[in-house]
Amino acid sequence: MATPGPAITAQRYIDNGISIDQIFRTDLGDDETRPDNPDHTGNKEWSHGKIPDHRDPVGDDDVDVLIRANGELMVEYRSPQ
């Protein structure tokens, strides 16, 4: 069985009540689409947060997840967006 693509996965979370602003992308802004190659995986990326024709460096959208001793959860981008 094939692994679902990112857009399908994100939609499944949204359909189950997760707000779109609570879904973090580790490639925010990046656009890896290849119109010349319909089978390229970049063509299947989730379009939310994508900037057309933009390429960004590795590590610029790292996500930090912190679970405190009291159970409080904090999720945020490491660098300001």
Q: What is the pLDDT of residues 14-38, one digit of tens each?
A: 999 999 888 888 888 888 888 898 8
User: Does residue 50 form part of some domain?
Assistant: yes
User: Does residue 1 form part of some domain?
Assistant: no
Average pLDDT taken over every residue of the chain: 84
Residues spanned by the domain of 53: 6-77
Q: How confident is the model at residue 48 (pLDDT cuts 50, 70, 90)?
A: confident
Q: What gap in Å lies between CA 1 and CA 33, rounded to an integer?
A: 24
Collapsed DSSP state (helix, strand, coil) of residue 9 = helix
pLDDT computed for residue 6 by the predictor: 64
Residue, of 72 and 42, whose pLDDT is higher: 72
Q: How confident is the model at residue 74 (pLDDT cuts 50, 70, 90)?
A: very high
User: Does residue 70 form part of some domain?
Assistant: yes
Q: What gap in Å lies between CA 19 and CA 13, rounded to an integer?
A: 8
pLDDT computed for residue 69 by the predictor: 96
Q: What is the tally of structural domains in the chain?
A: 1
Identify the CA nearest to 26 among candidates 66, 73, 75, 77: 77
pLDDT computed for residue 56 by the predictor: 82
pLDDT computed for residue 1 by the predictor: 45
